[in-house]
Structure formats: C-alpha cells, structure tokens
Amino acid sequence: MALAVDRHLAILAGISLSFVAVKALKRFIKKRQNNAPLPPGPVSLPLLGSVLSIDAYEPWLTYTEWGAAYGDLLFVRSLDEEMVVVNSQPIAEALLDKRSRIYSDRPYLATLEPYGLSINFAFIAYGDEWRLCRRLFHQTFRPDSAAKFRPMQIQRAREIVVNLVNDPQNYYDHFATFSLSVVMSTVYDYDIGARDDPMVQTVIKALVPGLTVLTPERALLLKTFPFLLKVPDWCWGSSIKRSARGSRERLNAMADIPFRYVQQHMADGSLVAQSSMVAENLRRMERQEEAFKPAFENALKKAGTTAIIASYETSAATLMVFFLAMVLYPDVQKRAQAEIDSVVGKERLPTFEDRASLPYIDAVLRETWRWQPVTPLGVPHAASSDDVYNGYFIPKGAIITYNTWAITRDEKRYHDASNFIPERFIDSNGVLTNDDPAQYIFGLGRRICPGRYNADFSAWAAIATMLATLDISSAKDDQGKVISFTPEFIPGVVRYLTFFVLLYPLVTDRFVASGFLRPSLAVFRSGLIFIQTLWTVGELPSFDRRDGSLLSVV
Ligand code: HEM
C-alpha cells in the first residue's frame, strides 16, 4: 500500500517537474527582456537548478561557501524557486530594512492554509491582516509594556534550576517548559501547573506534527496539484488531505482552548494578573465597533498562537547551546561565575537590576547567539516587486534568504569564529563593544522578530541564574574519565542541538541562599554539594525531545 502511494507520488512529482519546466521557460523569456543581470551564483541545471548542489540538511553551509566564490549577494535557482541569498549584514540592511516596502512579504507556501499553519502570522503575506496581528503583538511585547513581565521571567528562570535539581536528566524538557511557561503567562496569564498539564499537551500535539509539514517538497506538490486536497477519502493520494485536516484541527484547538480559558476567567473575574496579551486586548475589543470585532478576535488568536509557536523551540534551543558551551569551555564558565560572585555575592541570586554590572554575562549571551545561531537562515522574505540593487536585478516573487550563519562565521569580524569566545565582545576597558549579534540574529526590517526583547530577557535570566547556582561539566565514566562526545544538531527553520547526555549539574553553595527553594530541596540549605551523574556510557537513553510527554514541571 505504502509502495503504491509512493509510486503515485513519484508520478505526481514527475508531472510537477514539467510544470516547473514551463514556468522556468516563461521566466527565462522575462529575464531576457530585462537589462540588469541577475546576481552571480552557481551554475543552474535545466529544471533542477542547483538543488542537487545544496546541502539538504545544512543549506547555510552551501550558501556560505558560495558566498566566498560569488560574493555576498547570490542568485540561486532551486527547482521552480528563485532565491536571492544575502550573506552580509550591510546588504541585508539595505534590502530588508531600507527597502522594506519591497522586501516584507513571505514566500507562498501551499501547505500553509490547508494545514492550518496560517494561524502563525510569521508566515502570512504582508498585508492588512499581518499588520493587525503585528500591532496587537507589539502592544504587549514592546520593551516598555513587557517590563511588567520581567519579575515573572526571573521566577521562571529559577524554576529551571529547581527542575534541574529534581530531574537533571531531562534538562531539555526544563528549557522547553521554561520557554512555554514564560510565553503562556505573558499571552494568557496561564500558569503551567503540573506534569502532563493539559494545555501544554494541546500545544505540543499541535506544534510537533504541524511544523514538520512545512517542507518545500510537500508545498511543491500541493502548489502543483491543489486538487489533492479535494479527493474523496477513499481515493489514493487522500492521505495528504487527511493529514492536512488533522493538523488544522490540532492547531485550531491550540488557538481556541487557551483563548477560551482567558475569556472564561475574565467573565468570572478570576484572572490572576489582569495583564496578559489576550486579556488586555479583549478589553480593548469591547470598545471596538461590532463589525470589526470578528477580524480583531481572529487576529488576536493568531498573535497569541504565533507567540507560542515562535518562542517554543527558539528559546529552548538557545539554552541548549549555552549548556553545550559551558561543558566545552569550562574557563568561560568560571570567569562568568567569578563575575557574579564579585557583583551579586553569594547571598542572593542575580536579577535584571544587576545586568548592567555584569558585562561578561552579557558577553556570554551574545556569544551564545552568535556561536550556534538557532535560526541560521532566519525566516525567508519575498520580493513583492521587481527591484534593481547594486546593478543586479531581483525579480518579483524571489525568495530572499538572509544567511545569518555566514555573518557569524565572518573571520574578518569574528576571529576564530568557530570557537566560543565571549571576550570578543568586551573591549580593553572591560566594557561591552557595540557589536551585538542581537542586531542580526532576529532578522531585519518590518518582519524583524517582535519577540526579541522577551527572548533576550528570558535568555539572560536563565543563563545568569544557572551560572549562579550550577556548575555544568562533562560527565565521567566509572573510571572517572571524561566521556567525550560529538555535538550534533537537528536542522530546520530552528536548528537545535540533539540532547547530549554528558554533564554533571553541580549545585553550588550560592543556590542555598535563594529564597525560592521548596521544602523538598531543603537538603541544600545545609550546604550539601549535589552531584548527579546522568548516565553511564552503556545506558544512553533514546530520547525524542519532541515528545511532549517528557515535559515536567515542579
Ligand atoms: C532565541 C530566540 C529567538 C530567535 C533567534 C528568533 C528569531 C526570529 C527571526 C530570525 C525571525 C524572522 C525575522 C525576519 O523575517 O526578518 C523571527 C520572527 C518572529 N518571531 Fe522570533 N525569535 C526568537 C524568539 C521569539 C520569541 C520569544 C517570540 C515571541 C514571544 C518571537 C516571536 C516572533 C514572531 C511573532 C515573528 C514573526 C514576525 C513577522 O513575521 O512579522 N520570537 N524570529
């Protein structure tokens, strides 16, 4: 059965290629009518373009190599897609920021609507709906109004440590829990309460399969054969329609259930904080004209759901990179802890008021953003009209890929770029330099990440709190020898580190002083040093980090 479906899909893929050929010919004719040349780039095969030369798992590596050969502005054809790859920050600023009126669209993805993914406004076209979603989002997440969430972020960061101590094996889960708990408090004033929290389960069930269908192959198939979404359930090829329906239902549930939670609690007056994004905007909505309310409510649901989707993996992936760096670069960890000890002391934990006095901690955060960027190709933009930049023609509809990875690996800017060296961000007076990777890792222009302040404060809170309370180092085997390992990353829109098992979290005496300890952890009050070997070499668990059932919360 599976074979038959595969064969049918192969036939469809073959027919898709013929459509691609016709389209390519039309474009060729159009190009000939235009005087400016396309940006330089690799030789493109008929029909296939350069698809076979692009590293399928880590395309940013190919684009970075091509950058060295052809320059910082590349033209790449891949099947029927035309792509302009930008390998430098100044060119990205010139296009995405200074010409944002042309470069603020997103590429068309045929899977978006059918799979319910248009609930995520990060992927929708530039236009009125996007504008409204973005405005609602911004009202909550801009720095001045998000300031009220800072104490909650500190509190959640401290919960990571409690969770790590209770259950050190599942540290990825604690990072994921942290990122969800911050965003769910901000958007819905929802406190993740217990293991297997039903709201968290709804989110995970919707997100995990939902994001995997964003593949270009599936999008190409649906773009060429939209009727696949209409075939009856008994017909071959209907699996696509059924999986789209399932995804849509799960994402709708993810958008509706927490939204209704807020409405219900507003109605019975039992909201705790009164100031979540949804609650604030529902109050605003009461003052709107009736005719506008449905569009407003729809945009608010989208803004809320997008916040969850956009922060879930990015924030957890960032903390995984930080953990890896601390294991691989123990001297950096020691220097960071020494700074906390001298500025904050051992009697309390760091807070945002200490941030300005802790430049090395900020340098560690900057290097975490740079060293292994979690969104190495950002989110693609699209050109909404023809343009000529620096003498090169950029066609309407071209996908604009901003290769963040190339910037992080620019040896002229970052000497020894593949190494984790926070000192590169500190000048000879011990002051932070002007080079902040937050200026490029969150994208640019009108589509720049609107959650960047929240992401930055969350990451700082988590990093400073963990450095103040834990020693993180490689695990040792039964003979006391350090177990070596090779870090591996799972590629995707968000690139994240596979779970690496090799560390000891060592709770330091600073932990004792913190007032957030629960009675079950009172043992630490005696100053007892806690050492937990996670696993010996023989018993590495097979661990699917996307399995939400592993999420745990104290
Ligand atoms: C490590 C953390 C994060 C990174 C590296 C990151 C990175 C990005 C990037 C590269 C984009 C695309 C920008 C562009 O198109 O030029 C983006 C978009 C977006 N991000 Fe983030 N992000 C992070 C965390 C967050 C968080 C915590 C939130 C929400 C609270 C968030 C909300 C969004 C939204 C809503 C968009 C879509 C913007 C639009 O299309 O108008 N992000 N992010």
pLDDT at site 278: 95
133 is in an annotated binding site: no
- Using the mean position of ligand 1's atoms as its centre, give its distance from the Cα of residue 6 in Å: 36
- Using the mean position of ligand 1's atoms as its centre, give its distance from the Cα of residue 454 in Å: 10
pLDDT at site 489: 84
Number of C-beta neighbours around residue 434 at 10 A: 7
Q: Is 415 helix (H, G, I), strand (E, B) or coil?
A: coil
- Using the mean position of ligand 1's atoms as its centre, give its distance from the Cα of residue 312 in Å: 11
306 Cα nearest atom in ligand 1? 35
Ligand 1 atom 3, closest CA: 314
Ligand 1 atom 11, closest CA: 449
303 Cα nearest atom in ligand 1? 35
User: What is the amino acid identity at position 108?
Assistant: Y
CA distance 396 to 344: 54
Ligand 1 atom 18, closest CA: 449
Taking 70 as the pLDDT cut, the residues of the chain under it are 1-34, 194-195, 208-222, 224, 272-274, 476-477, 499-554
Residue 59 near residue 375 (C-beta atoms within 8 A) = no
Ligand 1 atom 40, closest CA: 122
DSSP string covering 442-489: T--GGGS-TTHHHHHHHHHHHHHHHHHHEEEE--B-TTSPBPP----E
pLDDT at site 81: 84
- Largest Cα–Cα distance in the chain? 79
Q: What angle do CA 113, 115, 118 make, to 5 degrees?
A: 45
404 Cα nearest atom in ligand 1? 10
- Using the mean position of ligand 1's atoms as its centre, give its distance from the Cα of residue 452 in Å: 7
HEC secondary structure over 103-133 = CCECCCCCCCCCCCHHHCHHHCCCCHHHHHH
Number of C-beta neighbours around residue 163 at 10 A: 20
Residue 402 near residue 443 (C-beta atoms within 8 A) = yes
Residue 442 near residue 449 (C-beta atoms within 8 A) = yes
CA distance 71 to 412: 15
Ligand 1 atom 9, closest CA: 442
Give the contacts of 16 (CB within 8 A, at least 6 positions apart): 220, 221, 224, 225
- Is 418 buried (19+), middle (13-18) or exposed (0-12) by CB count in 10 A? exposed
User: Mind listing the pLDDT tens digit for each residue in 379-434?
Assistant: 999 999 999 999 999 999 999 999 999 999 999 999 999 999 999 999 999 999 99
pLDDT at site 93: 97
Ligand 1 atom 31, closest CA: 451
- Using the mean position of ligand 1's atoms as its centre, give its distance from the Cα of residue 115 in Å: 21
User: What is the amino acid identity at position 421?
Assistant: I
pLDDT at site 300: 97
374 Cα nearest atom in ligand 1? 5
CA distance 488 to 480: 24
380 Cα nearest atom in ligand 1? 15
Of 164, 154, 553, 526, the closest CA to residue 348 belongs to: 154
- Using the mean position of ligand 1's atoms as its centre, give its distance from the Cα of residue 400 in Å: 16
User: Mind listing the pLDDT tens digit for each residue in 452-474?
Assistant: 999 999 999 999 999 988 888 77
Residue 225 near residue 12 (C-beta atoms within 8 A) = yes
For ligand 1, which residues put their CB under 6 angstroms from it?
122, 134, 137, 141, 183, 306-307, 310-311, 314-315, 318, 374-375, 378-379, 381, 441-444, 447-451, 454-455
- Using the mean position of ligand 1's atoms as its centre, give its distance from the Cα of residue 448 in Å: 7
- Using the mean position of ligand 1's atoms as its centre, give its distance from the Cα of residue 311 in Å: 7
pLDDT at site 183: 95
**Count of CA atoms in the C-beta half-sphere (13 A) of 535:** 13
Ligand 1 site-directed mutation target among 180, 404, 442, 453, most atoms within 8 Å of CB: 442
User: What is the amino acid identity at position 398?
Assistant: A
pLDDT at site 515: 35
Ligand 1 site-directed mutation target among 449, 493, 497, most atoms within 8 Å of CB: 449
- Using the mean position of ligand 1's atoms as its centre, give its distance from the Cα of residue 46 in Å: 36
Ligand 1 atom 28, closest CA: 451
Q: Which two tokens stand for residue 376?
A: 């190495």
User: Mind listing the pLDDT tens digit for each residue in 227-273?
Assistant: 777 777 777 777 778 888 888 899 999 999 999 999 998 888 777 66
CA distance 456 to 450: 11
454 Cα nearest atom in ligand 1? 27
- Using the mean position of ligand 1's atoms as its centre, give its distance from the Cα of residue 375 in Å: 9
- Using the mean position of ligand 1's atoms as its centre, give its distance from the Cα of residue 323 in Å: 22
CA distance 258 to 260: 5
317 Cα nearest atom in ligand 1? 1
ipTM of the complex model: 0.99
- Using the mean position of ligand 1's atoms as its centre, give its distance from the Cα of residue 254 in Å: 19
Tell if the pTM clears 0.90, that is, is over it.
no
pLDDT at site 215: 54
446 Cα nearest atom in ligand 1? 41
Give the contacts of 466 (CB within 8 A, at least 6 positions apart): 157, 160, 161, 164, 322, 472
Ligand 1 atom 16, closest CA: 443
Question: Pairing state of beta strands 81-86 and 399-402?
Answer: parallel
